[in-house]
C-alpha cells in the first residue's frame, strides 16, 4: 500500500449541548489560526446538557493557548494514528485485518473518502498499540 501513516495528538474539550455550542468553540479556534483536519463532536449521554469535541491538529503557541482557554487538552485516554492514501475498494477491511492479525484492539475508527483519496483516524487504548500499528502499516 502506498500510504502515509503518522501518530497524531487529538485534543478534546467539553462543550455545551445547546444551539451554537460547537460553533463557538470552532470559531475561537479559527480566530486563533487553527486549520483543523479532523473534528468529531458528540453528546455525552452520561452528562446531560454537555458534549465533547475532538480536534486535530493544533499547531503553535497561539492555537494551543486558545485551545487551552476553551478547555482543550491532549487526549490521554486514546492514542491516535492518521492513515492517508489513494483509495481502493476494501482498504478499510485490509487495514483492520492487519491490525487484528497483530492482536491489536481498536478503540475507535473513523474513515472518509474524498475524490480518489482516503483518510482514516484510528484510536488505540495505548501508545504502545499505536506505535505497533504505525510500524505495521508503514511496512505495507
What the chain holds in terms of domains, given with CATH numbers, is 9-74 (3.30.70.260), 77-139 (3.30.70.260)
> What is the per-residue pLDDT for 78?
83
Q: How do residues 63-119 score in pLDDT, each as one tens digit? A: 999 999 999 999 888 899 999 999 999 999 999 999 999 999 999 999 999 999 999
Q: Round to whole Å and give the CA distance between 5 and 8.
A: 10
- List the grid coordinates of 3: 500510504
- Residue 31 CB burial class (10 angstroms; 0-12, 13-18, ≥19): exposed
Q: Is the pLDDT of residue 1 over 70?
A: no
> What is the per-residue pLDDT for 27?
95
Which residue carries 487538552 as its cell? 73
pTM of the model: 0.86
Q: Is the pLDDT of residue 47 over 90?
A: no
Amino acid at each position: 500500500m502506498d500510504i502515509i501513516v503518522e501518530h497524531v495528538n487529538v485534543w478534546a474539550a467539553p462543550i455545551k449541548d445547546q444551539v451554537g455550542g460547537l460553533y463557538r468553540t470552532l470559531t475561537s479556534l479559527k480566530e486563533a489560526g487553527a486549520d483543523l483536519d479532523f473534528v468529531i463532536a458528540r453528546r455525552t449521554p452520561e452528562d446531560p446538557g454537555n458534549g465533547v469535541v475532538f480536534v486535530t491538529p493544533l499547531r503553535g503557541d497561539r492555537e494551543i493557548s486558545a485551545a487551552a482557554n476553551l478547555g482543550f487538552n491532549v487526549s490521554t485516554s486514546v492514542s491516535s494514528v492518521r492513515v492517508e492514501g489513494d483509495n481502493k475498494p476494501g482498504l478499510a477491511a485490509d487495514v483492520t485485518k492487519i491490525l487484528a492479525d497483530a492482536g491489536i484492539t481498536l478503540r475507535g475508527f473513523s474513515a472518509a473518502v474524498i475524490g480518489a483519496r482516503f483518510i482514516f483516524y484510528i484510536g488505540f487504548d495505548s501508545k504502545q498499540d499505536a506505535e505497533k500499528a504505525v510500524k505495521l502499516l508503514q511496512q505495507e
